[in-house]
Homo-oligomer: A and B are copies of this chain.
Amino acid sequence: MVRPREFQEDKALEKAMLLFWEKGYEATSLSDLTTSMGIQKPSIYAAFGDKKELFEAALRKYIHEHATFFRRHLQSGSSVKEAIHTLFQEIVAQAYQDDRSRGCFCINTMVELAPHEPRFEVLTREHQLYLTVIFLETIERGKKAGELQPHINAKALANTLVVSLIGLTVMMKSRPDRTFVDQSVETVMQLLD
């Protein structure tokens, strides 16, 4: 270590994440990245590798924060039904308050890259599985507490909640009337009864 970095690696990665998240992999150029990250191309390559490695680092950062977001909402002490309901409502509210809704970076990557790049197929599948497990634990907790009926198939329900969240997130990309989305959330919540 003789000359220190003049930029903060994590701040730069955060900027890259936001850009890839909003525009996707192909539509984001290195020129866009240098502008947004505030550093030149050789610095990017020295710190993160090539474009695809930078993208993967950005996605991993997103996935980590996204998982934390889910844990915070679902592993709270309150009612299980309420926690799940609130999580869904918050995701919807965020999408509609943000003018240029980026949706979910992981979902965007599943659509754009997973079918052609095994590394992203695996990465996104594992995150999806992780979210399912968090839902599963939450449902089991609700069953033990007597809040959810014991005959509920926890695994199947957890899967379905993840499927519904993916569907809602993607649907909102075309900005449908909010009524549609809110109605769907309420309908999915019936599965908890």
Contact = CB atoms under 8 A, between A and B. Distances in A.
Contacts of A160: 164, 183-184, 187-188
A162 B166 contact: no
A175 to B, nearest CB: 6
Contact of A159 (B103, B132, B184): B184
A125 B174 contact: yes
A56 to B, nearest CB: 15
Contacts of A190: 191
A103 B115 CA distance: 9
Q: Is the interface of A mostly helix, strand, loop or mixed?
A: helix
Contacts of A162: 167, 171
A27 to B, nearest CB: 5
Contacts of A180: 132, 159
Interface in A142-157: 153, 155-157
21 contacts: A22-B115, A23-B116, A26-B27, A100-B115, A101-B115, A103-B111, A110-B170, A110-B171, A111-B111, A111-B112, A132-B180, A156-B183, A159-B180, A160-B183, A160-B184, A160-B188, A163-B168, A165-B167, A166-B166, A166-B167, A167-B170
Interface of A: 22-24, 26-27, 100-103, 107-108, 110-112, 114-116, 121-122, 124-125, 128-129, 132, 153, 155-157, 159-160, 162-168, 170-171, 173-176, 180-181, 183-184, 186-188, 190-191
